[in-house]
Amino acid sequence: MVLLFLLIAAETELAEKALGILNRNCYSCHGSAAMAGLRLDRPEGLEDAIVVPGKPDQSRLWLMMNGKGRAMMPPTGKLAPGDLAAVREWIKAGAKWPVASGKAPLAKWWAFEPVKSFSAPGRGEGWARNEVDRFIAAKLEEKGLKPAREADRRTLVRRVSFDLTGLPPARAEVEEFERDEKPGAYERMVERYLSSKHYGEKWGKHWLDLVRYGDTAGFEQDPYTLYAWRYRDYVIESFNADKPYNVFVKEQLAGDELFEDPQQQQGTGYFAVGPNRDMLYKVEDINRIESLTDFTDTTASVFLGLTVGCARCHDHKYDPIPQRDYYRLQAVFAPFQKTRIFLHYNNARSHDLGEVTRQFKQYDIGAELIRLKTPYFERMKAERLSRLSAAVQEAFAAPEEKRTAEQKALHDAHMKEVNPTDGEIWKVLDDRDRDKLEALKNRLLGMYANYGPGPFAPGVTDVGREAPRTYVPGKGTAYGEEVKPGFLTALGGGEIAEPPLDSATTRRRAALAEWIARGENPLTARVMVNRIWQYHFGRGIVATASDFGMRGSEPTHPELLDWLAGEFVKRGWSVKAMHRLMLHSATYRQASNRGDGPNEYLSGFNRRRLEAEEVRDAMLQVAGTMNPKMGGKPVVPELSNEELYGMSQPAGNAWPVTMDRAEHARRSIYMLAKRTYRMPMLEVLDRPEGVLSCARRESSTTATQSLGLLNSKFTVEQAEALGKLAPERGWQSVFQREMTGEEAVMVKEFLARQTELLGSEQKARRELMRGLLNTNEFLYVD
Amino acid sequence: MSATRRQFFLDAGKGFGSLALASMVAGAAEQARAKRVIYLFMHGGVSHVDTFDPKPELTKRSGEVLPGSFGQGLITSRIDFRKALMRGSPWKFERAGEGGLEISDLFSHIRKQADKIAVIRSCHGDAFDHAPAIYLRTSGSQFPGRPSLGAWSVYGLGSENENLPSFVVMSDGAMKSGAGAYGSGYLPARYQGTVFRSGASPVLHLEAPEGVSREAQKTTLELIGKMNRGYGANREGDSTLEARMASYELAYRMQAEAPEVVDLAKESAATKKLYGIGEPMTDDFGRKCLLARRLVERGVRFVQLYSGTNLGDDWDDAHNDLLGSHNKMAKKSDLPVAGLLADLAGRGLLDSTLVVWGSEFGRTPLAEGKNGRDHHPYGFSMWMAGAGIVGGRALGATDEFGLRAVEDKKDVHDLHATMFRLLGMDHTEVTYRFQGRDMRLTDVHGQGEFTAWLRGGSK
């Protein structure tokens, strides 16, 4: 009896050990996710020669684990010899399941586990200012590192100003902070920038990078996505209002299903501002699939930090995302249709009516113009032709399809010269016709006297209560296996219920939005606080901000990440509360004097180059030329022909320069964001293309970048504006500090030399400013 | 030069990733012949059945509809494969060189170089509109946002000349795809193509602002240098700051070197003639081809040349006028391309330079309207030369009407894998981590490499 008991105990121990190994290494995919149809977390899953009791060498599991099967498993690398031996022994002993339980627990990948509640460790005495620092201090101590000293006040205010608003502080703001001796000076300073309206412009840009925002759709015609900018403004306003992040998520994913207020519904512009090629003929089905793919991949990436894209074609190789799950998620979007959201119902209706009436009237104006000019056109053309050779005249007289190759060449060569332009015709109109033209012009102008964008926002809704079916390709029927909408198995799974009978939509996106935006979702809060951390510290606690899967980086400070995620939810999903936690910390206030290491434990601040838009905006700001106007339709600034090179359409349509030049000096976020073309200055400074979600920008250094910063008309114009100030004042504006004595000498010598070379002191001053705008001190946040 | 500065020059060209790659691909490099690429891209779509893929059966049955089920499953935007009529080529084909490769009269000059080129007659894709097809041919994906072939190449290979960009693009202006065709996608911006213009200021913003002499520019640069040294003095060890200082020095040297590259004055009259420079039809593309040679001579890794533009003439005018458009576009590029091949060979550069000629797709063997041909991605031709390739031969075939690639089918990934191999790289090993995946140019494809065949071996 005792012997039997001991035997069972030994078997159980062996089984528990082996299954523990499988649990840690296999169940994340081959647990409830059942990748490739395989489950190793219950006895029946081992049937079918997966495990042949007593015979490891005939067991597919054993072969795969040793690279002798169809693939090497686990894909992350062969198990340790000890673990392998334990599994072999277990199979040899009959691969029995532990007696106590029939089922092993689910695998644990930290990011799919609930957010844990930690309290800050009691470390960092004398240095720590808040809980953030205590977590950081604990890790620093563990790694034998010491925090850096606190940065000086000028550095801090400049850092906070750039990080929160994307702009340098004014000289006066620096002085005010430097002088403020009262307690809480730093916190007051942070508050100033947090409440600035420019805050939303900076943090909105981060979000627009993530949601691959663009004002045009891309591809050859690169057509405008009308009113895309309403979504851009919605994002900026949402950040400025510190809209709770869970609400922000819900508005974007399902604003149409969850909210009555059109201001909230316009969040669904998220789906409408991506790339698409709807306009192409005969490929509607391909385009629909591309859109669904874009929605599925982007949504998982932005809101959950998961790369589900791999599972579109096969079970995910690294994460527990089977192909079925991918299509369950895609089914959520299957009923989508693009729509216009009426921001004000009556105004929208009357705008539409006006538009239709206007168009109707214009047909008549067009016809009248042709009637007016045709006699002149014919007369002038005949006159001009009569002066040319007989051969040319014949070429023009011949009907197009009957022209010989030679005649065609002659015709093409003389076309411009023979056919009068409209401008030439208007000049020679007789008095009566001139009056007619004048009348037409006035009529046309009258139609546009109060013209402006209508109160519409782009968005999506569903085609109705019934959705088109979704299939997993290549499985089951000719279409594949039909799947119902649902959530990722690795995160608990679950089906989405049928909508009520009277519902106008499928309510699938509503269900997804609620599921993502609940506090218990292990990823939502973690992913967002990590993004905020990354934008402040240069690197996320999880370095791969949009990949919390098994191929992503593991968190450097897992407890801190969970603590922040917990606080985020507790504090009502307030993004600004997170800024305060991070910016108030001693960690953030460290000086950035350090070498080249990755600095993942933050024994100092990570110096960073200004982002593309920050460079342009900062130049405008310090030159005093910036137009601070917010929102509205995109601005198209003037660029040189060389800069416009490579555009797919004539610049007149593709880059229609905004007539009001004062608009050209607005912040970069308001400049037209085309998909097939980026302003060269922003492009060379790593502005993303806006086609795929961008979680973290590159920060490259190239010679073409330096050439642009040095020689572009934009830089010269800003330097000219700055050069109008006295050199000391210009210097203060650029660097927000006084010159040192040594620098004053250098500047004096420079001005003398350049005045000699350029023949004017004014030009020398401009050169000084052009130089300063190209310095590391200006281009880096220290 | 300090260690970190030197590092910048390495990194500026090679990219951080490629330092690691260098050792990884060392083995492959031994058999690599090519160090540089000139990619001649015919913008708009060149008809294969009128250039490199003779179809006597098509000519014989010109004017008939396709028999049986030949047209089933084929779509393009403008013609109906059930109703459109077959149209034989209006150009004559001739065998040329020792290899007896058949090339039409459209490319009578390239035909004289037939023994240098290997034609792939079995290219195929599934994008039948320009922008997606251009993205597909250059990045392996119909969707924009992925790095282009040139960007991947310089990411993998690094630079040979620190004073010039490693990836240079010359186009006639507007691309139907926009600049994405030579973009760096998710790779850092340093890998994107730099547009070269033929004027005195080839690179954007190369020239100092108006009225600023070279001496004045130098004085301003010295000021920047001084300021940066002061700033860097108490921020030791930050290589990014040093890299930026170096980038200004490089910019200054580029200001000196780039205009010299585009100055063709020192080229002999005979060389210019070889490229058709001075002749009205060939002058423009001839200059670009000659410039391409000068660039690869100076160590530029990847030169992407486009013939045709969305806002002027391009091969796509064949929609309405096959004869006119193809005569004109061929006339513009035939002599210059032939001249480039001859010149590279004459200077001993052809062996180390891979020349690729291609287009986004072919054109329908069926007529569009009375005089045209529509886009056709289901079977078309391209050719490759240099890099130790044994020319005078053709790989693969389309069916008797030139509709579909049927033998030794090669898609864009096979082409890219092959190009990488010729450059000494394994396409599966040049990767970049993005969105949690080790991305590569060929994605999960590229199993149909044909390097061995190109080098004279069997398929």
pLDDT tens, residue by residue, A442-477: 999 999 998 999 999 999 999 999 999 999 887 656
Distance (Å, rounded) from C-alpha B421 to C-alpha B32?
7
Around Cβ A726, how many Cβ atoms within 10 Å?
10
How far apart CA B357 and CA B359 sit, in angstroms, is 7
**Is the CB of residue B1 less than 8 Å away from at least one CB of chain A?**
no
**Cα separation of A347 and A717, whole Å?**
41
Q: How far apart are alpha carbons B393 and B38 in whole angstroms?
A: 20
Q: Which of A167, A195, A151 is nearest to A610 (CA)?
A: A167
A700 pLDDT exceeds 90? no
Q: Which residues pair with B380 in a beta bridge?
A: B123
Q: What is the mean pLDDT of residues A750-777?
A: 97
In A, which residues are within 8 Å of B174 by CB distance?
646-650
Instruction: Using the predicted structure, report yes or no on whether residue B177 has a pLDDT greater than 70.
Output: yes
CA pair distance A430, B161, nearest whole angstrom: 65
CB-CB: which of B132, B195, B237 is closest to A595? Answer: B237
CB contact under 8 A, A645 and B243: no
Establish if B198 touches chain A: CB-CB under 8 angstroms: no
User: What is the predicted pLDDT for the residue at A595?
Assistant: 67
Cβ of residue B10 closer than 8 Å to a chain A Cβ: no
Give the mutation candidate from A676, A687, A694 for the B interface (greatest B CB count, under 10 A).
A676
CB proximity B251 to A under 8 Å: yes
pLDDT, tens digit (0-9, with 9 covering 90-100), for B34-58 = 999 999 999 999 999 999 999 999 9
A725 φψ region: left (φ > 0), alpha (ψ -120 to 50), beta (else): beta
**Could you give the CA distance from residue B195 to residue B157 in angstroms, rounded to a whole number?**
19
In chain A, DSSP finds a helix count (H) and a strand count (E) of 33, 6
Query: Quick one: pLDDT at residue B3?
Result: 43
Identify which of B165, B188, B241 has the shortest CB distance to residue A700. B188
d(CA B364, CA B377): 9
pLDDT-based confidence at A748, cuts 50/70/90?
very high
Instruction: Please choose, from the candidates A528, A617, A540, A544, the residue with its C-alpha nearest in 3D space to the C-alpha of residue A576.
Output: A528
Identify the pLDDT of residue A98.
66
Chain B residue at shortest CA distance from A690 = B145
pLDDT at B22 over 50: no
How many Cβ atoms are within 10 Å of A352's Cβ, its own excluded?
14
> Given B188, B248, B435, which is nearest A546 (Cβ)?
B435
Q: What is the value of pTM for the model shown?
A: 0.87
Q: What pLDDT does residue A593 have?
A: 67
Task: Enumerate the domain spans of chain A.
Answer: 2-101, 108-150+522-605, 244-340+463-518, 346-448, 715-782
DSSP symbol at B253 = H
In Å, how far is B407's CA from the nearest CA of chain A? Answer: 26
* pLDDT of res. A107: 54
What's the pLDDT band for A10 if we cut at 50, 70, 90? confident
Task: Quote the CA–CA distance of A736 and A778 in Å, as a whole number.
Answer: 10
Given an 8 Å threshold on Cβ–Cβ distance, is A220 in contact with B177? yes
Q: Is the pLDDT of residue A85 over 70?
A: yes
- Write the CB contacts of A37 (distance below 8 Å, at least 6 apart in sequence): none
In DSSP terms, A470 is beta-bridged to A483
Q: Is the pLDDT of residue B457 over 60?
A: yes
Nearest to A684 by CA among A713, A708, A716, A667: A708
3-state secondary structure of A559: helix
For the segment B20-39, the average pLDDT, to the nearest whole number, is 63
Tokens of A248: 């922000």
Give B 204-223 residues with CB within 8 A of chain A: 204-209, 211-213, 215-216, 219-221, 223
B16 touches chain A (CB under 8 A): no
pLDDT band of residue B198 (cuts 50, 70, 90) is low
Q: Is the pLDDT of residue A281 over 80?
A: no
Biggest CA pair distance of chain B: 81
Cα dihedral A60/A65/A70/A76 (nearest 10): 150
Beta bridge partners of B169: B195, B304
Residue A276, min C-alpha distance to chain B (Å):
9
- Amino acid identity of residue B55, one-letter, is K
pLDDT, mean of residues A140-155: 95
Distance CA B96, CA B54 (A): 13
Characterize the bridge pairing of strands B101-104 and B380-386.
unpaired
List all residues 6 or more positions away from A656 whose beta carbon is below 8 Å from its beta carbon: A636
What whole-number distance in Å separates Cα of residue B196 and Cα of residue B201? Answer: 9
Could you give the domains of chain B? Answer: 3-200+263-303+319-454 (3.40.720)
B280 vs A: CB within 8 A: no
Of A543, A531, A503, A618, the C-alpha closest to A158 is A618
**What secondary structure letter does DSSP report for B180?**
G
- Residues of A with Cβ-Cβ distance to B240 under 8 angstroms: 607, 609, 699, 701
Interchain proximity A607–B238, CB inside 8 Å: yes
Strand pairing category for B36-42 and B353-359: parallel
pLDDT band at B437 (very low <50, low <70, confident <90, very high): confident
Nearest CA in chain B to A716: B209
pLDDT at B173: 78
Rounded to whole angstroms, the Cα distance separating B99 from B390 reads 10
| Least reliable range by pLDDT among A2-16, A601-615, B52-66, B437-451 | A2-16
* Residues A633 and A456: beta-carbon distance below 8 Å: no
How far is A631 from A230, CA to CA, in rounded Å?
8
Which residue is closest to A305 within chain B, CA to CA?
B435
Omega before A114 cis (within 30°)? no
- Per-residue pLDDT of A604-653, as tens digits, reads 999 999 999 999 999 999 999 999 999 999 999 999 888 888 788 888 88
Contacts of B188 in chain A (CB under 8 A): 686, 698, 700
Chain A residues whose CB is inside 8 A of the B131 CB are: 218-220, 277, 648
The pLDDT of residue A114 is 95
Chain A residues with beta carbon closer than 8 angstroms to that of B305: none
Chain A closest CA to B290's CA: distance in Å?
21
- Residue B75: count other Cβ atoms within 10 Å of its Cβ: 14
- The Cα of A652 is separated from the nearest Cα of chain B by a number of Å equal to 12
d(CA B68, CA B75): 16
**Could you tell me which residues come within 8 angstroms of residue A575 by beta carbon, excluding any fewer than 6 positions away?**
A203, A239, A242, A245, A528, A532
Return d(Cα B373, Cα B359) in angstroms, integer: 15
- What distance lies between CA A180 and its chain's CA centroid? 38
Residues of chain A in contact with residue B45, where contact means CB-CB under 8 angstroms, are none
DSSP state of A152: P
Are A469 and A366 within 8 A, CB to CB?
A: no
Comparing CA positions, the residue from A326, A424, A439, A332 lying closest to residue A383 is A424
Using the beta-carbon criterion (under 8 Å), do A767 and B220 form an inter-chain contact?
Answer: yes
- The predicted complex's ipTM stands at 0.85
User: Is B243 at the interface with chain A, CB within 8 A?
Assistant: yes
Query: So what's the pLDDT on residue B76?
Result: 87
Residue of chain A minimizing CA distance to B186: A688
Q: Nearest Cβ partner of A689 from B145, B206, B212?
A: B145
Are A675 and A222 in contact, with CB atoms under 8 Å apart? yes
- Can you tell me whether residue A470 is helix, strand or coil? strand
Per-residue pLDDT tens over the stretch A117-131 = 999 999 999 999 999
pLDDT surpassing 70 at residue A759: yes
Radius of gyration of chain A (CA): 33
B60 touches chain A (CB under 8 A): no
CB atoms within 10 A of CB A209: 18
Collapsing DSSP to helix, strand or coil, A555 comes out as coil
Give the lowest-confidence range in A119-123, A669-673, B173-177: B173-177
Long-range contacts of A392-401 (CB under 8 A, 24+ apart): A401/B370
Taking only the tens place, the pLDDT of each residue in A349-367 is: 999 999 999 999 999 999 9
Amino acid letter for position B270: A
Q: Which residues contact A29 (CB under 8 A, 6 or more apart)?
A: A35, A315, A316, A319, A320, A322
Q: A220-235 pLDDT, tens per residue?
A: 889 999 999 999 999 9
Query: Which residue does chain A place closest to B8, by CA atoms?
Result: A701
Q: What is the mean pLDDT of chain A?
A: 91
Instruction: Tell me the DSSP string of B272-299.
Output: HHHTTTTSTTTHHHHHHHHHHHHHHHTT
Distance CA A157, CA A152 (A): 9
Closest chain B residue by Cα to residue A768: B220
Torsion angle, alpha carbons of B85, B89, B95, B96, to 10: -140
Is the bond leading into A727 cis (omega within 30 degrees of zero)?
Answer: no
Neighbours of B93 (CB within 10 A): 22
Q: Which chain B residues touch A770 with a CB distance below 8 Å? A: 209, 220
B218 and B225 Cβ atoms separated by less than 8 Å: no
Q: Are A247 and A573 in contact (CB under 8 A)?
A: yes
Q: Decide if A746 and B237 are in contact by the 8 Å CB cutoff.
A: no
